[in-house]
C-alpha cells in the first residue's frame, strides 16, 4: 500500500462515490411508486415524462395485422414451411396514431 499515490487514492474515492450514486439512483428509481411520485410533485401517471406508452402497440407505433392472438401461430406456420416472407403486415397503430405513445392527460392539461 506504500506505493499508492494521493491522486490514486483520490481517484478511487471518486470512483466509489460515483458507483454508490449510480446504485442509489437505480434503487431510488425502482423504489418510487406512483403515490410517492405524487407526493414529490411528480406526475402520477407518467412520472413527468409527459407521455404514456401505448399499450396496444407497446410503444412501437405499429402492430401486426391479424390481431394479437393470430400472430404467433402464423409465424410458426411460415417458419415450419420455410417461407422467408411471412405475409403478416405491419400496420400503423390506430390507438396512438402510430406514435407509440400518448401525451399524458395529466400533464397536457397544464
Residue numbers of the site for Zn ion (CB under 5 A)? 43, 45-46, 54, 56-57, 93, 95-96, 104, 106-107
CB of 69 to Zn ion, least distance (A): 17
For Zn ion, the closer of residues 24 and 92 by Cβ is: 92
For Zn ion, the closer of residues 29 and 85 by Cβ is: 29
CB of 106 to Zn ion, least distance (A): 4
| Distance, CA of 52 to CA of 49 (rounded, Å) | 8
For Zn ion, the closer of residues 68 and 81 by Cβ is: 68
Nearest to 95 by CA among 47, 63, 67, 48: 63
CB of 88 to Zn ion, least distance (A): 17
CB of 21 to Zn ion, least distance (A): 26
User: 53: helix, coil or strand?
Assistant: strand
For Zn ion, the closer of residues 71 and 78 by Cβ is: 71
DSSP secondary structure code for residue 86 in this structure: -
Positive or negative, the CA dihedral 88, 94, 98, 101 is: negative
Nearest-5° Cα angle at 36, 102 to 51: 10
Amino acid at each position: 500500500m506504500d506505493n499508492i499515490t494521493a491522486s490514486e487514492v483520490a481517484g478511487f474515492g471518486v470512483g466509489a462515490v460515483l458507483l454508490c450514486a449510480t446504485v442509489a439512483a437505480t434503487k431510488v428509481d425502482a423504489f418510487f411508486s406512483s403515490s410517492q411520485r405524487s407526493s414529490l410533485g411528480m406526475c402520477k401517471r407518467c412520472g413527468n415524462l409527459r407521455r404514456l406508452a401505448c399499450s396496444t402497440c407497446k410503444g412501437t407505433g405499429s402492430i401486426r395485422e391479424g390481431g394479437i392472438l393470430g400472430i404467433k401461430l402464423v409465424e410458426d406456420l411460415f417458419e415450419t414451411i420455410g417461407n422467408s416472407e411471412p405475409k403478416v403486415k405491419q400496420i400503423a397503430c390506430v390507438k396512438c396514431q402510430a406514435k407509440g405513445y400518448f401525451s399524458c392527460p395529466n400533464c397536457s392539461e397544464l
